[in-house]
Amino acid sequence: MLELIMSQTERIVYIFKEISANGYFRIEDISNKFEVGERTVKRDIEYIRDRLDIKLYWNKDNRSYGVYQKPKLEENSTEKLIVAKAIYQKVEKSYEIPKLFGEGIKNFLNSGISSDFKDLSDRVIFLSNVSIVCDFNLFSEILKAIKEGNSLSFDCDKEQNLIVTPYIIININYDWSLFGFDNEQRRMKLFSLSKITNFKINIYGLVN
């Protein structure tokens, strides 16, 4: 049973990586890579939709699945760069990006904005939250546990004394979450980093 769960986990992580890299994934590609039937991949899709509550949509044009998101902006490069600059300035402040590094990114964005609009780029302001700023110490500890193959103990929202095997950190719906295996419920789940408390790393059965 555990072997089946781990096999599904590998496929789901690969699906996430395919969406991140290409914007979509195809059932037949996953089926061929992992040497499983397409019906198995469809069950993975149902798991992502129903258990992880991630909205996947079917694109009939290229027969693929992707994560549902709002329609793209029109193909106007200058306008997109102005919007990108406004969003970046929000990110820069939220994440306290070093000034020298930040200036390099802004200069790069400015270089693509047409001269007609260059003086107006500061008239576009992004007020929405780009994403919940995570606890970078927690972020680092989770990555360390993933690298070293250790499990984690923590409370998350109303769930207490969880024992979780971590796999990836993912940003979904503007929130950073841990995708991992809940040892008690024996299934993969998403845990919001912003709701994790009493965090500890389990090393060889000991709590760190």
Domains of the chain as residue ranges with CATH: 2-67 (1.10.10.10), 77-123 (no CATH), 136-207 (2.30.30)
Q: What angle do CA 25, 29, 31 make, to 5 degrees?
A: 115
Amino acid 208: pLDDT: 44
Give every CB contact of residue 111 below 8 A, 6+ residues apart in sequence: none
Amino acid 1: pLDDT: 57
Amino acid 207: pLDDT: 42
Low-confidence ranges of the chain (pLDDT < 50): 72-74, 205-208
> 147: how many CB neighbours lie within 10 A of its CB?
9
181 Cα distance to chain centroid: 16
**pTM for the complete prediction?**
0.69
For residues 150 and 203, the answer to whether their CB atoms sit within 8 Å is: yes
Amino acid 76: pLDDT: 67
Amino acid 178: pLDDT: 93
